[in-house]
C-alpha cells in the first residue's frame, strides 16, 4: 500500500529506477535513494537470479523496458548497471528522461579509446569474465586493479555480494557483451546525462569520459568526487545523492 | 521518498530452449521462481520384520503393505522453498495360520509421518539439487500376536499379544537430486536421502493367556496383562532412487524404489527386546505424479 500511495504522490516528478552492477545488489542504492523526493524503484538485476542459465545485454534491456512500460523515468546505474542504462537509453529513448552513470563511462566510448588510452582495469576484467569457466570461482577484482584503495568493509561487502551472484548468468552476460557491443552514436542521445566519478577509480579513469564530456552534441554533466574509488555510491552516498537531486531538479525543470 | 525493491526477471532459465523468445523466457523464469508443486506417490512396501521377531514361517518370506504420500512444495525466492508432506507406510501384516503346528501368528508394522521442511535449491547444468531441513512428526504402530492352540501344556491353548504405539516429534535433514539425461531430454534420474530423529512416547501393552500344570496335577489358567509408557527415540532413515519423465503441461511422472529403516533406541522398556528390537526396515516400489503450477 505505501508503494501505491507513493506512486500517486510522486508521480508528478516521475520515478527513478536504480540498476546495480557486479558485484552488487539493489540495496546498494538505499542510502542514495532515501533523500530523493521521488518514487525510487531499486532492482535486483537478473545476474543474481540462481535460475538463469543464459543472459545477454539485450535481454536485460528488454526486460527493463517491459518494467518501465509507457512511463518516462530517470535511470541511475552503477558499473554494469550503468552500461545497461546506457543501452536502454539508446534502444528505448522514449522511456528515459535522464541517465546517471556512476563510476562508468559509456561502453562504446570506452572500447573505442582502449588502445589509445592503454586502459586496463575493467577492460581486462571484462575480457577475463567473458572467457571464464563458470565451474570455477569468479575471479576477484583486485587482481586487475592493484591500485584500488578500497575500504576493508567495502571489500568484505563486495565479496559477500559476489557470492550472491549466479556465475552462469554474469559470465554469459559479459560474454554477450564481449562478442559484440552494438556501436552507438552520441548523436542519438537526446536525454541529459550525469557522470558521477570517483577520482581514484582504478578501473574506469576519468580519461575515458573525456571524449563524451568534450562532445558538444551530448547533453552531459560531470560530477567528480575526491578521494573516492569505484564504489563511490557505497562510500560517498550523500555526495552522490546531492548531485543526483540537483541534476533531477534541473532536468524536471 | 518512496523506495520499492524489485527483482528484474530476464534471461533464459537452466534447461530452457535457447531459441525461446524473450517474452516466453520471462514467463518461464517467473514460473521457475514462483511455483507450487503437488506430488502424490503410491506403491507397495515389503519387509521381513515378522521373521526378525518370530523366526521363519512357512510361505511367508515377505509381508507386504501399501505406501502412499502427498506433498505440497511452494517456492519462496532465490531458490528457497518450503514443503509439507504426509506419508503412510504399511510394512505389512501377517496373519498366518499354521495347521501343522496348530498355531497362529498375527504381526503388523505401520508408520505415518508429517514432515515440514525448508529447502534450498541449486541448479547447475543438468543437475538439480535440493538440501532441506525441518521438522517431523512420526507415528508407529506395531503388533505381535502369537497363539498356540494345543499347548504347551499339551491340549491347552496359549496366547500372547503385544502391541505398541509410538508418537514422536523431531528434526529431519534431507537431500534430493535430479540429473537430466541430456539437454532436451524429458528423462531424469532422481535420488534422495533423508534422516530424522524423533523423541516421543511408546505406549506398550502386553497380554498373556496360558495354562500351567500345578504340583497337584491340576491345570490352572493364568492371564497376565501389562501396560507401560516409556520415552523413546526413533531414527528413521530413507533413501530413494528412480526415473522421472516430463510429460508436458508441467506434469512429471516417477517410478522408483525406496528403502526405509526405523531404528529404536529404547531406554528402559520391559518390552524393548520383544516389541522394538534394534531396527525394522522395508523396501517400497512406487509410482508418482507431480503437477507444477
Query: Per the domain annotation, does B58 fall within a domain?
Result: yes
Q: How many domains does chain B have?
A: 1
Query: Per the domain annotation, does B81 fall within a domain?
Result: yes
Substitution target in A17, A22, A26, A50 with the highest count of B β-carbons within 10 Å is A50
> In this predicted model, what pLDDT tens digit does every residue of B39-85 receive, in sequence order?
999 999 888 766 555 555 555 556 778 999 999 999 887 778 999 99
Name residue, grid cell 534450498: B120
Query: Per the domain annotation, does B131 fall within a domain?
Result: yes
Query: Per the domain annotation, does B119 fall within a domain?
Result: yes
- Mean of the per-residue pLDDT values for chain A? 78
Which has more pLDDT, B176 or B222? B176
φ, ψ (nearest 5 deg) of residue B9? -100, 120
In B, minimum Cα distance to A164 occurs at: B78
Which has more pLDDT, A127 or B23? A127
For chain A, how many helices (H) and strands (E)?
A: 12, 7
Name residue, grid cell 509408557: B229
Quick check: A49 and B33 CB within 8 A? yes
Query: Per the domain annotation, does B11 fall within a domain?
Result: no
Q: What is the pLDDT of residue B106?
A: 72
In A, minimum Cα distance to B128 occurs at: A51
Q: What is the pLDDT of residue A122?
A: 61
For chain B, how many helices (H) and strands (E)?
A: 2, 12
C-alpha B118, offset from chain centre: 19
Q: What is the pLDDT of residue B41?
A: 94
Quick check: A50 and B22 CB within 8 A? no
Q: What is the C-alpha separation between B37 and B70, in angstroms, rounded?
A: 11
Which regions in chain A score pLDDT beneath 70? Answer: 1-13, 107-126, 140-152, 180-189, 211
User: In this structure, what CATH number is given to the domain that contains residue B195?
Assistant: 2.40.128
Q: What is the pLDDT of residue A62?
A: 92
Instruction: Provide the residue range defining the domain that includes A165.
Output: 2-252
Quick check: A3 and B18 CB within 8 A? no
SS3 B121: strand
Q: Of B94, B90, B200, B195, which Cα lies nearest the Cα of B141?
A: B90
Query: Per the domain annotation, does B199 fall within a domain?
Result: yes
Q: Is the pTM of this model over 0.80?
A: no
User: Would you say residue B30 has pLDDT above 50?
Assistant: no
Taking contacts as CB-CB distances below 8 angstroms, the residues of chain A near B123 are: 50-51, 53
Please work out, in degrees rounded to the nearest 5, the angle formed at the alpha carbon of residue A122 by the alpha carbons of A45 and A139: 70
Q: What is the C-alpha separation between A204 and A198, in angstroms, rounded?
A: 9
Which has more pLDDT, B220 or B140? B140
Q: What is the pLDDT of residue B293?
A: 80
Q: What is the pLDDT of residue B276?
A: 47
C-alpha B189, offset from chain centre: 21
Cross-chain CB nearest to A52 (options B5, B6, B13): B13
User: In this structure, what CATH number is given to the domain that contains residue A169?
Assistant: 3.40.50.1820
Q: What is the C-alpha separation between A18 and A41, in angstroms, rounded?
A: 6
Length of chain B, in residues: 293
Taking contacts as CB-CB distances below 8 angstroms, the residues of chain A near B32 are: 51
- How does DSSP classify residue B172? E
Q: How many domains does chain A have?
A: 1
Q: What is the pLDDT of residue B63?
A: 75
How many CB atoms are closer than 10 A to CB B145? 17
Render the burial of A20-36: b for 16+ CB within 10 Å, e for the rest: bbbbbbbebbeebbeeb
Query: Per the domain annotation, does B215 fall within a domain?
Result: yes
> In this predicted model, what pLDDT tens digit does every residue of B136-172 receive, in sequence order?
999 998 887 777 766 666 777 777 778 888 999 999 9
Q: What is the C-alpha separation between A86 and A76, in angstroms, rounded?
A: 10
pLDDT band at B32 (very low <50, low <70, confident <90, very high): very low
Q: What is the C-alpha separation between A241 and A225, in angstroms, rounded?
A: 12
Would you say B164 and B204 are in contact if contact means Cβ atoms under 8 Å apart?
yes
Grid cell listed for A224 = 567528480
Which has more pLDDT, B106 or A90? A90
Quick check: B1 and A33 CB within 8 A? yes
Identify whether B61 is preceded by a cis peptide bond (ω within 30 of 0).
no
Quick check: B5 and A46 CB within 8 A? no
In B, minimum Cα distance to A40 occurs at: B3
Q: What is the C-alpha separation between B158 and B33, in angstroms, rounded?
A: 63
Query: Per the domain annotation, does B268 fall within a domain?
Result: yes
Which has more pLDDT, B249 or B99? B249
Q: Which helix (H) or strand (E) element contains residue A117?
A: helix A114-117
Give the residue-averaged pLDDT of B238-243.
Answer: 95
Quick check: A52 and B121 CB within 8 A? no
Q: What is the C-alpha separation between B172 and B88, in angstroms, rounded?
A: 17
Amino acid at each position: 500500500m505505501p508503494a501505491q500511495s507513493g506512486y500517486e504522490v510522486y508521480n508528478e516528478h516521475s520515478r527513478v529506477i536504480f540498476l546495480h552492477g557486479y558485484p552488487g545488489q539493489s540495496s546498494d542504492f538505499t542510502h542514495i535513494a532515501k533523500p530523493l523526493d521521488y518514487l525510487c524503484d531499486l532492482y535486483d538485476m537478473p545476474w543474481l537470479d540462481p535460475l538463469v542459465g543464459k543472459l545477454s545485454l539485450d535481454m536485460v534491456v528488454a526486460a527493463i523496458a517491459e518494467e518501465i512500460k509507457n512511463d518516462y523515468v530517470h535511470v541511475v546505474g552503477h558499473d554494469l548497471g550503468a552500461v545497461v542504462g546506457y543501452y536502454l537509453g539508446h534502444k528505448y529513448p522514449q522511456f528515459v528522461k535522464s541517465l546517471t552513470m556512476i563510476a562508468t563511462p559509456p561502453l562504446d566510448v570506452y572500447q573505442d579509446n582502449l588502445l589509445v588510452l592503454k586502459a586496463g582495469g575493467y577492460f581486462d576484467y571484462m575480457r577475463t569474465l567473458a572467457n571464464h569457466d563458470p565451474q570455477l570461482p569468479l575471479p576477484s577484482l583486485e587482481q586487475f586493479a592493484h591500485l584500488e584503495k578500497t575500504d576493508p568493509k567495502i571489500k568484505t561487502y563486495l565479496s559477500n555480494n559476489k557470492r550472491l551472484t549466479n556465475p552462469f548468468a554474469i559470465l554469459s552476460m559479459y560474454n554477450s557483451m564481449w562478442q559484440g557491443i552494438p556501436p552507438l552514436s552520441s548523436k542519438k542521445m537526446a536525454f541529459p546525462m550525469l557522470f558521477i566519478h570517483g577520482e581514484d577509480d582504478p578501473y574506469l579513469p576519468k580519461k575515458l569520459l573525456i571524449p563524451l564530456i568534450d562532445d558538444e552534441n551530448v547533453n552531459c554533466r560531470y560530477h567528480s568526487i575526491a578521494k573516492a574509488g569505484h564504489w563511490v555510491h557505497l562510500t560517498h552516498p550523500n555526495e552522490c545523492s546531492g548531485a543526483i537531486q540537483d541534476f533531477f531538479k534541473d532536468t524536471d525543470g | 521518498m518512496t523506495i520499492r525493491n524489485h527483482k528484474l526477471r530476464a534471461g533464459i532459465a537452466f534447461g530452457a530452449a535457447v531459441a525461446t523468445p524473450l517474452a516466453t523466457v520471462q514467463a518461464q523464469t517467473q514460473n521457475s521462481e514462483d511455483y507450487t508443486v503437488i506430488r502424490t506417490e503410491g506403491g507397495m512396501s515389503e519387509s521381513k520384520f515378522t521373521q526378525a521377531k518370530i523366526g521363519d514361517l512357512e510361505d511367508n518370506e515377505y509381508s507386504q503393505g501399501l505406501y502412499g504420500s502427498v506433498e505440497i512444495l511452494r517456492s519462496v525466492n532465490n531458490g528457497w522453498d518450503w514443503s509439507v508432506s504426509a506419508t503412510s507406510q504399511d510394512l505389512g501384516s501377517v496373519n498366518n495360520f499354521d495347521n501343522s503346528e496348530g498355531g497362529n501368528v498375527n504381526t503388523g508394522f505401520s508408520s505415518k509421518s508429517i514432515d515440514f521442511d525448508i529447502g534450498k535449491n541449486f541448479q547447475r547444468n543438468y543437475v538439480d539439487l535440493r538440501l532441506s531441513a525441518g521438522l517431523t512428526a512420526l507415528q508407529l504402530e506395531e503388533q505381535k500376536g502369537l497363539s498356540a492352540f494345543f499347548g504347551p501344556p499339551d491340549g491347552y491353548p496359549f496366547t500372547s499379544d503385544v502391541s505398541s504405539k509410538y508418537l514422536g516429534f523431531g528434526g529431519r535433514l534431507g537431500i534430493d537430486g535430479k540429473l537430466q539425461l541430456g539437454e532436451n531430454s524429458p528423462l531424469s534420474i532422481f535420488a534422495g536421502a533423508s534422516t530424522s530423529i524423533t523423541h516421543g512416547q511408546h505406549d506398550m501393552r502386553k497380554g498373556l493367556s496360558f495354562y500351567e500344570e500345578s504340583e497337584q496335577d491340576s491345570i490352572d489358567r493364568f492371564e497376565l496383562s501389562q501396560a507401560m509408557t516409556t520415552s523413546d527415540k526413533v531414527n528413521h532413515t530413507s533413501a530413494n532412487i528412480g526415473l522421472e519423465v516430463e510429460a508436458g503441461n508441467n506434469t512429471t511422472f516417477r517410478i522408483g524404489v525406496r528403502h526405509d529403516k526405523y531404528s529404536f533406541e529404547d531406554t528402559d522398556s520391559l518390552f524393548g527386546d520383544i516389541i522394538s528390537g534394534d531396527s525394522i526396515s522395508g523396501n517400497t516400489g512406487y509410482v508418482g505424479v507431480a503437477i507444477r503450477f
